């Protein structure tokens, strides 16, 4: 195994029941490349939860990270890439800090500085 394989997204899946599956897959692959040095993610997938405010979910410390790529009820209206990337960074912070506390937000800010170059 290559050491680079330890910090990467192993698989990504877009929703097949939605139009624009190829576009969604490209977004997920771009997100995967951006976060590769941070943590290993076994599966990165698109999801469309009933709760319109839920943008991401981290299951089992990055065994499966789910991201909302599209605005609720608008299948062709994808969120801006940087917003989806920010959600991914948020979900990766949950690997180190479960609750949304000061340590969580500090780590999220550190990730943002690296990935958004502010």
Compute the half-sphere exposure of residue 80: CA atoms within 13 Å on the CB side of its CA: 3
Per annotation, catalytic residue among 21, 29, 91, 110: 91
| Catalytic residue flag (residue 23) | no
Tokens 């990730």 sit on residue: 111
Q: Which residues contact 41 (CB under 8 A, 6 or more apart)?
A: 8, 9, 10, 32, 35, 62, 64, 65, 92
Q: Which residues carry out catalysis? A: 91
């Amino acid at each position: 195994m290559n050491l680079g394989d330890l910090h990467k997204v192993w698989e990504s899946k877009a929703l097949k029941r939605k139009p624009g599956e190829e576009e969604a897959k490209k977004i997920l692959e771009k997100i995967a490349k951006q976060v590769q040095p941070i943590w290993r993610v076994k599966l990165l997938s698109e999801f469309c939860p009933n709760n319109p405010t839920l943008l991401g979910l981290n299951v089992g410390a990055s065994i499966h990270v789910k991201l909302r790529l599209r605005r609720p009820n608008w299948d062709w209206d994808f969120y801006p890439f940087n917003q989806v990337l920010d959600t991914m960074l948020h979900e990766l912070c949950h690997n180190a800090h479960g609750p949304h506390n000061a340590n969580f937000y500090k780590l999220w800010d550190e990730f943002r500085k690296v990935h958004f170059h502010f």
